[in-house]
Amino acid sequence: MGYAQGKNPNSHVKGIFQKGHKINVGRIMSLESREKMRLAHIGMEYPTGWHHSKETKEKIAKAHRGIFTGEAYTTIHSWLRRNFKKDNCEFCGSDRFVEWALKKGCTHAHNRDNYLTLCSHHHKIYDYTPERRKRLSESLKKVPHTRIWVERIARANRGRKLSEEHKQKISYYNKQHPRKRNEKGQFYKK
């Protein structure tokens, strides 16, 4: 992809560097320069690629072997891509960003009837059911908010009118979890 005329960010070095230029080929460096380069590289760690943890490797292996239902998710989806054409979204008829979606109540298997072709928008809607939303919210209740998020939530709720029921929940929670002030006068939990 070219640049507009005069907009090349490297235009100032145009005359200096050229593709395939061999100015340094066969050049002999002094021993002093070679020693400086050697000393500069001592102790450097060169990356040899991405390394997964042992748990992650086991999860990847399970996904490829198909431990859960006897069929592997990745192999089934590659089989679907090889043997069937993703035509249009079965909800809206769009032919953009079409994905394979597992029908509710079906299991992953080499059976075309277990899958729908949906655009990415309708696939998210189809998969994000009230049960899944409830599971996610329950799992997130166990994770404490970071200090930044607590501040954002407090800023968003400042000046907001609360219902009586909500006020009672807050006062009950505060009685169960009393807070103290630090030397700056800010609250912190026990």
Closest C-alpha to 104, from 66, 81, 131: 131
Enumerate the β-bridge partners of residue 99.
118
Angle between helices 54-65 and 73-83 (to 10 degrees): 50
Q: Is residue 105 part of a domain?
A: yes
- Does residue 181 form part of some domain? no
- What pLDDT was estimated at residue 1? 47
146 — phi, psi (to 5°)?
A: -75, 165
Q: Lowest-confidence range among 10-24, 107-121, 142-156? A: 10-24
| 87, part of any domain | yes
Q: How many domains does the chain have?
A: 1
Mean pLDDT of the chain: 76
The pLDDT of residue 5 = 53
Higher pLDDT residue, 148 or 144? 148
Residue 165 belongs to some domain of the structure = no
Q: Kindly state the percentage of the chain with pLDDT values over 70.
A: 71
What range does the domain containing 115 cover? 57-126
What global pTM score does this model have? Answer: 0.40
Residue at 189 is within a domain:
no
User: Do the domain assignments include residue 154?
Assistant: no
Q: How far is CA 128 from the centre of its chain?
A: 18
Q: Tell me what the mean pLDDT of segment 5-23 comes to.
A: 58
User: In the numeric block, which tokens belong to residue 164?
Assistant: 């009586």
- Residue whose pair of structure tokens reads 């968003």 in the numeric block: 156
Evaluate whether residue 88 is within a structural domain: yes
